[in-house]
Structure 1
Amino acid sequence: MTVPDGAQLSEDGKYWWDGADWQPVPEGGEQSTEVGQLSEDGKWQWDGSQWQPAGDGAGGGAGGGADALVGALAGQGINLAPEAADPGYIQQVAAHVSNWYEGLDENAKAIVDALSKQGADTLLTDPEVGVVSEGDPLITAFSGTDMTLHESLMATNQALEQTA
Structure 2
Amino acid sequence: MTVPEGAQLSEDGRYWWDGADWQPVPDGETQQAEVGALSDDGKWKWDGSQWQPVDDGAGADALVGALAGAGIDIAPEVADAGYIQQVAAHVNSWYEGLDETSRAIVDALSRQGADTLLGDPEVGVVSEGDPLITAFAGNGMSLGESLQATNQALEQTA
Same topology, TM > 0.5: yes
* Cα distance between partner residues in 2 of 1:2 and 1:74: 30
Taking a change above 3 Å as real, the CA distance of residues 2 and 78 of structure 1, as seen in their structure-2 partners, is closer
Which of 1 and 2 has greater Rg?
2
- Could you tell me how far 1:64 is from its partner in structure 2? 1.1
* Cα distance between partner residues in 2 of 1:31 and 1:150: 40
* Cα distance between partner residues in 1 of 2:156 and 2:79: 14
SS where residue 97 of structure 1 aligns?
A: helix
Taking a change above 3 Å as real, the CA distance of residues 34 and 79 of structure 1, as seen in their structure-2 partners, is closer
For these two proteins, the number of residue pairs brought into alignment is 131
Taking a change above 3 Å as real, the CA distance of residues 106 and 163 of structure 1, as seen in their structure-2 partners, is same
SS where residue 53 of structure 1 aligns?
A: strand
Cα pair 1:3 1:31 within 8 Å, conserved: no
Matched, 1:53 2:52: yes
* Cα distance between partner residues in 1 of 2:154 and 2:30: 34
**Residue identity in the other structure for 1:76:** A
Stretches of structure 1 that go unaligned for 5 or more consecutive residues are 6-29, 38-42, 55-59
User: TM-score, with normalisation over the residues of structure 1?
Assistant: 0.70
Taking a change above 3 Å as real, the CA distance of residues 145 and 104 of structure 1, as seen in their structure-2 partners, is same
- Percent identity over paired residues: 67
Stretches of structure 2 that go unaligned for 5 or more consecutive residues are 1-9, 15-27, 34-38
Cα pair 1:127 1:134 within 8 Å, conserved: yes
- Tell me which residue corresponds to 1:161: 155
- Tell me which residue corresponds to 2:138: 144
Of 85, 89, 92, 2:86 maps to 92
* Cα distance between partner residues in 1 of 2:32 and 2:106: 35
Of 69, 75, 82, 2:76 maps to 82
**Residue identity in the other structure for 1:147:** M
Give the aligned CA root-mean-square deviation in angstroms: 2.8
